[in-house]
Amino acid sequence: MPRILLLDTGPLGKLTHPRTGQDAYRKLLSQIASDYEPFVPDVCGYELRRELIRADLNSSERRLDELIAQFGMVSATPEVWRLAAGLWARARKAGRPTADRQSLDGDVILAAEAMAHEAAVLTMDLGDLGSLLGPGYVVDWHGV
């Protein structure tokens, strides 16, 4: 079982929400702290931050910065980019794309980061990430 847990954009959004973030944060820590060490993937930080900036949610953006400072950030390396390109191509060849053809496709980048770090992903999107990573590497936010 992976010891590193990458936080997908959906759970990160819950953790930064001004009204429910603290409850979500306590739930996360109490349920997974003994099994995993959480990290914020750079691609998920980017996906969430762009929406927080667009919506002028400054307190949520500050909370995101606090979570990154507390948990640390996993950044894409050249190895991650190569893995992501392969995942993207294989999903397309299999007729199971995870995003529009012209999209950067954060799911394949996140999956590649998980593969490179032998990590699991805490997500609300079990379908796409589950097909990319397989059982045991995807943790359902709703089940935590």
4-143 topology per CATH? Rossmann fold (3.40.50)
For the purposes of burial, counting CB atoms within 10 Å of the CB of 58, is it exposed (0-12), middle (13-18) or buried (19 or more)? Answer: exposed
Amino acid 98: pLDDT: 65
Distances (CA, A) of 142 to 78, 131, 138: 32, 18, 12
Task: Write down the pTM of the prediction.
Answer: 0.86
Give, in order, the Cα–Cα distances in Å from 51 to each of 48, 96, 107. 5, 26, 17
Q: Residue 96's pLDDT is what? A: 75
- Beta carbons of 71 and 41 less than 8 angstroms apart: no
In the block, tokens 């359902």 appear at: 140
- Per residue in 62-106, pLDDT (tens digit) is 999 999 999 999 999 999 999 999 988 888 888 876 666 666 678
